[in-house]
Amino acid sequence: MRIDKALTFVAGELNQKGIPWRLFASGALMVWGVKIEPEDIDIFVSKENVIKLEKTFEQFVANPTHPFTEEGREYLEFQMTVDGVKVEICELEDLGKLVTLNYLGEKIPVASLQAELDYYKKHSKFGDRTPIIERRLHEILTGK
């Protein structure tokens, strides 16, 4: 699966450089074992690291660093393509409380699966994902 290769490549680079980061959205769900096929990889880092990482990954950059506005606040981001997979590196100063999971030999920092579920419940356009996240959370909590 190409997304696995792209994720482990980017994670390896971030981990090797000691950059605090967080995997978000469908990629995080995949790492938690939710039966979902992500279309892209969404990674959050500090504003300073967005700029630094654009240089680190310059050969993969498809859309250079630019501002975007969400919920009335402006952030920086850039997009790159790694092994045919779209990867977004976005600014987020507070990465939140994270859990580090081992995924194919790389350490992947993610929010708790409950936090991911709460996010998806608040964003109705992703409502179809909540039942599969709930099933996976139940499996984790009960061991079944």
Domain assignment present for residue 105? The answer is yes
Domain assignment present for residue 122? The answer is no
Domain assignment present for residue 135? The answer is no
d(CA 103, CA 94): 23
Which phi and psi (to 5°) does residue 3 adopt? -65, -35
User: For the chain, what is the domain count?
Assistant: 1
Give pLDDT, residue 1. 59
Domain assignment present for residue 144? The answer is no
Domain assignment present for residue 127? The answer is no
Domain assignment present for residue 16? The answer is yes
- How is the chain split among helix, strand and coil, in percent rounded to 5? 45, 30, 25
Q: Which domain holds residue 8?
A: 2-111
pLDDT digits (tens, 9 = 90+) for 1-60: 599 999 999 999 999 999 999 999 999 999 999 998 899 999 999 999 999 999 999 999
Model's pTM, two decimal places? Answer: 0.91
DSSP 6-25: HHHHHHHHHHHHT---EEEH
- In 46-123, which ranges are E strands? 61-70, 73-82, 85-91, 99-103, 106-110
* CATH code of the domain in which 53 resides: 3.30.460.40
Domain assignment present for residue 72? The answer is yes
Domain assignment present for residue 134? The answer is no
pLDDT digits (tens, 9 = 90+) for 68-80: 998 888 999 999 9
Radius of gyration over alpha carbons of the chain, in Å? 15
